[in-house]
Structures are given as C-alpha cells and as structure tokens.
Amino acid sequence: MTTNLGQVSDQAPTGQPVLTIDHLQVTFATDGGDVHAVKDVSLEVNPGEVVAIVGESGSGKTVTAKTILGLLPETAISSGAVLINGNNVISVSKSALRKIRGRDVAMVFQEPSTALNPVFTVGWQIAEGIRAHASDGGRISAKEAKLRATEALRKVGIPDPETRVNYYPHQFSGGQKQRVVIAAALALDPGLIVADEPTTALDVTVQAEILQLLRDLRDNYGTSIVLITHNMGVVADLADRVVVMYQGDVVEEAPSKVLFAEPRQEYTRKLLAAVPHLGRDSASEGARSRLHQDGKVLVEAKNLTIEYPGRFGRHGFKAVDNVSFTVSENEVFGLVGESGSGKSTIGRAIAGLNRTTGGSLKVLGYEMLDFKERTFRPLRKEIGFVFQDPAASFNPHLTIGECVAEPLMIHTKPGAAEARKKVGELLESVQLPASYAQRYPHELSGGQRQRASLARSLALNPRLLIADEPTSALDVSVQAKVLDLFKDIQEQFGFAALFISHDLAVVDMLSHWVGVLYKGQLVEQGIGNHVMGSPQHEYTKRLIASLPVPDPEEQARRREAHRALLGG
Amino acid sequence: MSTPTLTPPRQPLFSRLPVISHLKKSVGLQRGMLVVGVVLSGLFILTSIFAPLLAPYGYSQLSDASGSFPTQQAPGGKHLLGTTVGGYDVLSRVVWGSQTAVTVIIVSVAMSLFLGVALGLLSGYFGGWLDRILVVVADAIYAFPTLLLAIVISIVISRGQSSFWGGIFSCAFSITVVFVPQYFRVIRAETIRLKAEPFVESAKVLGASSMRIIGRHIFKNATRTLPLMFTLNASEAILTLAGLGFLGFGIEPTSAAEWGFDLNKALADTSSGIWWTGVFPGIAIVLTVLGLTLVGESINDLNDPRIRGRKRAGGGAGTPASPGTPSAPAEAGKP
C-alpha cells in the first residue's frame, strides 16, 4: 500500500464534510408532464463515513446520486446546492465539472460488465482517468499512468496486478470486474465514491467480497462512500448512517444502528418489516420430515442432465448435471442457487421451454426426453408458469383481461360473457379489482402486474406451478405482499409449486423442501429451515454465511463467522 | 382497496394516429421539420386527388377549342408553365403526374408490405430451412443495383406495353421486388427478438398454437416501425419511378403523366435554353421526396425518446406534476 495519501487529507480537511447537499430539487420533463424526481433533499457526508441512501424504485435515490457527479440528462433541471469541497456541482462550468469528476468524486456503477469498455484493456481504462487529469500537474507518460493503474488494481485486491493490467474485461469474473471498476474510481484518490447499487448485479458470495473491499477502502484510506441501494442487508453490513428516501423526499435520517433498532417513521418501519429475514417465517417451521409426501409425485427427475450445444469443435455446456429430485402434490419445492447454477434451466425444462439431453425428467407422467410439442400440449393446461419480469411477460397490446383470458380461450373456448366472469373471479382471487381487466399492462404497477401474472397462470387450475424468480424485479414492500399472496393461494388452490429464486430468505419463507444448486449440481436438499439453519455442504454454508441480514449487530457477528469460515 | 393512481386515460383514436400523435409531442426544430414535411406531403396528396380540377388541360391534351397548342412556348399566357416540345402543357403534366406517383406508391408499398410482413413473420418465427432460403434470396436481391432490377422486372412484366395500369403495375411490381427484402428483414429481426420475449414464451407455455402466437402476440408488436418505413420507402418509390421513366421504362405520355418521362424528354431542351420543361417536373420530384423524407425522419426521431426534444421542465412554475406520471408508480402505500 504505497499510494500517496497526502492528497486526500489536504482535499478534505478534517471536520469539514466532503459532500453537502442542500435543498436539492430535480425535475424531469417527460411526455406526461413534469416529474419531480427529487423534491427536497439535504444531507452531509463526512470524511471516512459511509452514508447509505435507501428507498424503493422511484424514490429518487439514483437521481440524487447522479446529481452528485453532474450526470443528469438534458431533460432535467435541478436547483439547490451540491457542494463537493466547496464547488457547487450544479452551477460550475462543464470544464470545472470534468476536473471535479474523478479527482474529488468518482462513481461505481451497478453493472460492471457494461461499465467497462470491452475493446480496451482494464489498465488503459483506469489510466484514462489518470491521464485526463494530467493537466493538473503536467503531462503523465503512458508508462507512469500504467504504473499507477497497476497500483490501483493492487489496492482493490486483484492478484498479480502487473500481468492483469493488460487483460481485457472479459478475462475477469463478475466480482473482479466490479473490483476493476472500483480501482478506476480510486485511481485519483477521490475523497468520495458514489456507489450506485454496487452489488445488485452480483451473486451473494461475490457481494460479500465487494462489501468487504469497500469497508477496507474506508478503513485504510479514509474514503467516504455514498451507497445507493435497496438492499437492507447491504445497508446493515456497510453503512454508518442511513438516509431513507420515499418519492423524492428524505423520510428519515439516522445512524445505521439506531435506524434498524428503532425506526421512527411509519414508512421506515413498514420498509424494514417487509424485508425478508433469514430464519424468520419459515414455511417448514417445526417440520421433522418432508411434508406433503402422501400425494402423487408430479415431477420426477432422475440423473437429469441438460446440455447446451457447444460451438464447433468445443464441448457443450452442461447447465444441469446429474440432478435428481421429486415434487409431490401440494408441495412447494424451493430451488436456490446463484446465477448460472442451472435453476432456471430446470424450471424451463419442466415447462417444455428447454429440451433435456440426458437422464429422465417425468412431468405429470410425461417423459420430457421424448418431448414433442403436439403430444405435450394437452398437459400444458395442468402447468402454470410465472415469469421473472412481470412487465415483459404481458403482451403490451392486450388488456390484462385479454391476457388472463388467453389460457381459457386456448383450452376451453368459453363464450365472451363466461370468460369475462371467470377473469373477474381470477383477478379477485389475487386481490385485484375486476375492473382492472380493462387496463393495459403498462397501466399497472410492478406488483399488480405480477399478481395478474399469477392470475393468468392459475386460470386453468393447474396442478403444478413453476415460479421463476417471481419477485426479484419487485421492491421489497411489494415483494412481501406478493409472497404473502402466493402463500395464501397455494394453500387455497393446493397446487404443487417449483419456486426458483436466488434469495435464500424468500425461498425459506415459501418452500417446504429446498434444493441448493451449484454449477448445475444439486449439492444439498432438505427441509427448508434445516438447510438454512444447519447447512451440511461447504457451498451451502458459504452461501448462507455471505447473505447479509438487515440488522447491523447481527450482521457484524455473521461477518466475523463468515471470515472465520473462509479462513478455516 | 384505496383507488390507485391512474395513468391518463387513453387518447381518442384520432390523436393516436401516427403522424398526429407525433405532431403533438414534438417541439422546436423537430416540430418545424415535421410540419414542413406534412405540408409538402399534404400538398402532394391533395394535388393528386384534385388533379382533374387543378389541371387546366388533360395530361395528353395537345389542342383545345382555339386550336393546337404551340410547342416549346415559354411560361406565361394560356400556358402558365409553358409547353413541351411535343406541345403538352407543362403545368397539366406536373399536376397529373402527382396522381401517377401516388398510385404507384400505394400499389407498390401495399404489395411489398403484405409480402414482406407475411414472409418476415413466418421466416422469423419458424426459422429452419425456410428462413435460410428466404434470407439468401433477400440478400441476393440486395446485391442487385435497384434500378437494374426494376428495369428487368419492368421488361418481364409489361413487355414494352404501356397502358396506364400496365405501366403502373410494372413500376409498382419492380419497386415491390426492391422493397420486399427491406420489410422482410425488419419484420424478421423484430420477430426473432420478440420470439424470446417472456410474453411469447408465456403464450407458448399456455399451449397456444404457432399461428395464434404469430397472429395475436407477435404481429402487432413487430409492425410498430412500419409507418416510418412506409414514409421513407414512399419517397424512394417516387425516385425509382422517376428513374424508370427517365430511362424510358415508364408510362407513355398518352396513358398518363409521369415526371421522370418528362425529364427525359426535357433533356434535349436544356442545351437550347428551354428550362421550363425540365425544372418544373424536377421541382415536383424534389419537393415530394423532401416532404415524405422529412415526415419519415421526424417520425424516426420522435419515436426515439433519447433523440426527441422536450419542453424545458418547470416551464409552468408552480404547476404540480400530474399524479399519474408513469415513471413514479406509487405502490408502497397500497395494501
């Protein structure tokens, strides 16, 4: 760690806040009139402090973050003051703003794969910022810039930075790419880093590493961090102070520990209550043996293998490798795993959207290895499917009523009046007013759309429902409602369900029996709260330990345990 | 359940029509371009509709009650824009020419639309050998110079005949052949994209037949860009028609008026200082193409929210934002 830290201290004299936002207002011009994205936000960030801005989508947290770097689009106008080391970002000239960016404040983006340019080496991309600011103190040679880029990579814990500085982004894994993005942000030793959902696109185990890195930066270099996130676990893990935003306003601001222990505002309380907490409300609470085993077995996989064909001369990619499990009537089977573990592939194979290539997969008695659309079609009405993104799974040109009636029209062909009546009933069963049938999908909110999607999948009273990450595109408070609804409806209709999710806490809330997938293999399966409480497999242990819980005290303990686990 | 915030009610059909909805949401220079385009195109269409009233003479008229028309007469007097070497009235030829142009555009674009969209949907959705063959054919057509192709088709179809409808159809067919690959390509690409969309997959999971998926789910979503392509292709169709006429594959002056043909005949006049026979059909072509292109390009820009200009926010200070703005759905407060 040989970087000169003098810069940081003379830029931000002790005691003086690094960032002051004073009565910030941002308004966007849209086709639907002006939108007041940020109404009145004031906050301060002190040196070496991590301030988290939390809120649901549309709360204005990202707009606030972008204002700090002057990254708002042309359609926006802002008023108030955003002071970084005495410069007001809103009113300074463009060239002054360019100087501030990178030197005083830097940004870490959500999606590391798109934040890096694929045709340049990472070293070049980090050096770009260093050389852009060369005018501050004369020219910087390419060699020196590269040296400093290497140094920045070393700082963020990329092994063997001298060699890797010449690598291209695709040669790094997702977590390492995010480290590179952080290295680029650090290259000029800015006093402040704005991290916009820095771990949302990453898996939990990788997320834990990135959070650790950010914490080290704060501890070792005194960098202040503005953390924008919707994940309360991440907040509990990293933040010193929390600012809760709702619809463009600051609802509550408090030190992290205080906020989680005794939230003052109603909204904060509701928000915290909606966050799923591992180990609470387990669906398999108190179960000693596997539930619902007396009914028929609906899905039976034996040594199931699904392989995607490789390119010419290469081996295919085994997305699912030798997996065996069963789903019985009335049972909710939870499938967890990180991205690329093959969980969605299994769900899609059961619905006949993917072909199986080996082993055996029996769905309602139909062997999917000899899949033919024509012979499988009669069984389709027995299977419902809920997709991840409710916005994309509805045809934007059809009304909700037409979409929900679609399965009825295909299989039972009822009259118009009968269909309307049935659609009304279905919408009411998912707690939507029947009048919503007249609306178009874009006129509903995310949660309402996902309920309508549930109604559509239940239209033919299926025996099996496959839910592929049904809540991952939703805000926490909405997610909580959809999950409750799902639970109620499952008990009421009594269908078997395959619930696929990357979120352990969510799976535990719904599933009686849980399977953990890792790189295409089912490494562990068992009763939900047993798997969550006392995992057996190494990977499951790591997965559960790296999940941040929304409670700073408990999370600090878990963090220690996690570190011990990795060390041991 | 509390009443949730509503997005504004659907606009009446009139305001949702392509060009009118675009006009409403445009501002500044973009609006100016669109208005100029709409005015020019409107003039063009109106002229073609009212050609019998506007034109002082018929398109093939060589004489009136007071005797034969003079040839190569300069603009003025009885013949506002002069007469040609054959004794035709230039103004009448220009006005009637718009009718030919509109007919050719409608016939050719309609034919290429139907063919291109149908083939694109089938080819994109089913893929396989049909797709591969159609793509190769489309690529092969692309490889030909369009005018050459149009000439060949024109010979094949009309065999030198040049009645009004024979000429129109041979022009339209040759333009169709040139344009079908464009529509085919665009619709096919959209179909392939939409095929992977969750709403198509969800229809598949429900057990919908392929025809139902194509007709109900893909068709409407894949054809959004068509108004744009229609206007851009319309201007290109006029240019191809004029090119054909100029090369002598158009319609005989006795069957219909055609700008390209008149330009061709005006070629010899230029050296003798007779400018009016060439300039007026030329201006007609330029203005029509300009008008249609402006409409097309403006629609293209306005369809893209990143390019579209907007009024500055906060213009009406103190007016509260409408509660139902789509980017801020208030979900959290609801049960």
The answer to whether residue B24 neighbours chain A at the CB level (below 8 Å) is: no
Say how far apart CA B130 and CA A487 lie, in whole Å.
Answer: 47
- In a mutagenesis test of the B interface, which of A25, A75, A379 is the best target, namely the one with the most B β-carbons within 10 Å? A75
Which residue in B has a C-alpha nearest to residue A466's C-alpha? B205
What are the distances in angstroms from CA A333 to CA A237, A292, A293, A464? 30, 11, 12, 11
Q: What are the structure tokens assigned to B11, written together?
A: 């606009």
Which CATH number do you get for residue B170? 1.10.3720.10
Pairing of strands A76-84, A87-88: antiparallel
Per-residue tens of pLDDT for chain A, all 568 residues? 344 433 333 444 456 889 999 999 999 887 677 888 899 999 999 999 999 999 888 888 888 988 998 888 888 888 899 998 888 888 888 888 888 888 889 999 888 888 899 999 999 999 988 888 876 556 788 888 899 899 999 988 888 999 999 999 988 888 889 999 999 988 888 889 999 988 888 888 889 889 999 999 899 888 999 999 888 999 999 999 999 999 889 999 999 999 999 999 999 999 998 888 887 778 888 778 888 888 888 999 999 999 888 777 677 788 899 999 999 999 999 999 888 888 989 999 999 888 899 899 999 989 998 888 889 988 998 999 998 888 888 988 888 999 999 999 888 888 889 999 999 999 988 888 888 888 888 888 888 888 899 999 988 889 999 999 888 888 888 888 889 999 999 988 889 999 999 888 899 999 999 999 998 999 999 998 888 888 999 999 988 888 888 888 888 988 888 888 887 5
Please check the confidence at residue B271 and state whether its pLDDT lies above 50.
yes
| pLDDT tens sequence across B295-322 | 888 887 777 666 676 666 554 433 333 3
Amino acid letter for position B240: T
Nearest to B206 by CA among A385, A440, A369: A385
Q: Which residue has the higher pLDDT, B184 or A137?
A: B184
The alpha carbon of residue A389 and the mean position of all alpha carbons in its chain are separated, in whole angstroms, by 13
What gap in Å lies between CA B148 and CA A233, rounded to an integer?
Answer: 67
Determine the distance in angstroms separating the CA of A351 from the nearest CA of chain B, rounded to an integer.
6
E-strand ranges in chain B read 63-64, 67-68
Q: Taking CB atoms and an 8 Å limit, are A445 and B329 in contact across chains?
A: yes
**Contact list, A28 vs chain B (CB under 8 Å):** 313, 327
Contact A353 B221 (CB under 8 A): no
Q: Which residue in the set A29, A387, A411 is minimally distant from B310, CB to CB?
A: A29
Contact B331 A36 (CB under 8 A): no
Structure tokens at A37: 């994205």
Residue B245 inside a domain? The answer is yes
Instruction: Report the residue of chain A nearest B202, measured CA to CA.
Output: A393
Residues of chain A found within 8 Å of residue B331, distances taken between Cβ atoms? 56, 445-448, 475, 477-478
Report the distance separating Cα A150 and Cα A163, nearest Å. Answer: 9
The reply to whether A279-382+462-536 shares the fold of A6-274 is yes
In this complex, is the C-beta atom of B323 within 8 Å of any C-beta atom belonging to chain A?
no
| Domain range annotation of chain A | 6-274, 279-382+462-536, 396-461
Token couple for B182: 């464009």
For A27, the closest of B197, B212, B314 (CB atoms) is: B314
In this complex, the residue of A392, A443, A477 whose CB is nearest that of residue B199 is: A392
**Cβ contact, residue pair A447, B314, below 8 Å:** no
How many domains does the structure of chain B reveal?
1
In sequence order, what are the beta bridge partners of A516? A336, A524
Q: Do B313 and A75 touch (CB under 8 A)?
A: yes
Q: Chain B partners of A478 at a C-beta cutoff of 8 Å?
A: 331-332
CB contact under 8 A, A380 and B207: yes
Q: Is A225 within 8 Å of A195 (Cβ atoms)?
A: yes
What's the ipTM? 0.74
Contacts of A520 (CB under 8 A, 6+ apart): A318, A319, A320, A321, A323, A341, A342
- How many angstroms away from the CA of A140 is the closest CA of chain B? 36
State the smallest CA–CA distance between residue B216 and chain A in angstroms.
9
Contacts of A442 in chain B (CB under 8 A): 7, 326
Check CB contact under 8 Å for A446 and B322: no
What span, in angstroms and rounded, lies between the C-alpha atoms of A47 and B235?
62
Q: CA–CA separation, B60 vs B202, rounded Å?
A: 61
Q: Which of B198, B212, B327 sits opposite A387 (nearest CB)?
A: B198
| B4/A456 touch (CB, cutoff 8 Å), yes or no | no
**How far, CA to CA in Å, does B140 sit from each of B132, B133, B177?**
12, 11, 12
Of the candidates A86, A20, A28, A474, which has an alpha carbon nearest to the alpha carbon of residue A226?
Answer: A20
- The residue in chain A having the minimum alpha-carbon distance to the alpha carbon of residue B319 is A34
Please indicate whether, in this complex, the C-beta atoms of A406 and B1 are within 8 angstroms of each other. Answer: no
CA distance A36 to chain B (A): 7
Interchain CB contact of A10 with B (< 8 Å) = no
Supply the pLDDT for residue A52: 94
Q: What is the SS3 assignment for A485? A: helix
Question: What is the three-class DSSP state of B220?
Answer: helix
Contacts of B203 in chain A (CB under 8 A): 395, 406
To the nearest 10 degrees (0 to 180), the angle between helices A174-186 and A122-132 is 20
Please, which pLDDT band fits residue B29 given cuts at 50, 70 and 90?
confident
- By Cβ distance, the residue of A36, A377, A380 closest to B321 is A36
**No. of H helices and E strands in chain A?**
22, 20
**Residue B71 pLDDT:** 78
Q: Which of chain A's residues have a Cβ under 8 Å away from the Cβ of B319?
A: 33-34
Q: Please tell me the distance in Å from A149's CA to the nearest CA on chain B.
A: 34
Task: Note whether residue B19 is domain-resident.
Answer: no
- CATH 3.30.1490.100 fits domain A6-274: no
CA distance A483 to A334: 13
> B325 vs A58: CB contact, 8 Å cut-off?
no
The rounded distance, in Å, linking the Cα atoms of B322 and A32 is 7
Task: Provide the pLDDT for residue B118.
Answer: 92
**B92 has pLDDT over 90:** no
- Residue A388 is given by DSSP the state S
Residue B6 contacts A where some CB pair is shorter than 8 Å: yes
- Going A429 to A430 to A435 to A439, the CA torsion angle's sign is negative
DSSP state of A329: T
Give the gap in angstroms from C-alpha B29 to the nearest C-alpha of chain A: 16
Say what the pLDDT of residue A14 is: 55
CATH class assigned to A279-382+462-536: alpha beta
Q: Does A442 touch chain B (CB under 8 A)?
A: yes
**A287: contact with B, CB 8 A cutoff:** no
**Residue closest to B107 by CA, chosen among B244, B259, B237:** B237
Instruction: Tell me: pLDDT of B9 over 60.
Output: no
Nearest Cα to A432, choosing from A399, A410, A465? Answer: A399
Residue A98, H or E segment: helix A94-103
Residue B148: Cβ within 10 Å count: 9
Scanning every residue of chain B, which has its alpha carbon at the shortest distance from the alpha carbon of A431?
A: B1
Q: How far apart are the first and last CA of chain B?
A: 7
User: Which residue matches tokens 């639309």?
Assistant: B113
Domain extent at residue B144: 28-60+74-303
- B321 Cα to chain A: minimum distance (Å): 5
CB-CB neighbours of B299 under 10 Å: 25
Partner-chain contact B331 A34, CB within 8 Å: no
* Interface contact B64, partner A, CB < 8 A: no
Q: How far apart are CA A61 and CA A53, in angstroms?
A: 6
Does residue A332 sit in helix, strand or coil? strand
| Gap between the Cα atoms of B95 and B108, Å rounded | 21
Show residues of chain A in contact with B205, CB under 8 Å.
351-353, 380, 383, 385
pLDDT of residue A136: 57
Query: Residue A58 and residue B329: Cβ atoms within 8 Å?
Result: yes
Residues A214 and A210: their CA atoms lie apart, in Å, by 6
Which of A269, A350, A406 best tests the B interface by mutation, with the highest count of B CBs <10 A? A406
Supply the DSSP symbol for A370. Answer: G
Stated length of chain A: 568
Query: Taking the alpha carbons of A335, A336, A339, A342 in that order, is the dihedral positive or negative?
Result: negative
What's the mean per-residue pLDDT of chain B?
78
CB pairs < 8 Å spanning A and B: 132
Cα(A227)–Cα(A61) distance, integer angstroms: 10
* C-alpha distances in Å from residue B317, one per residue of A35, B200, B314, B321: 13, 44, 5, 10
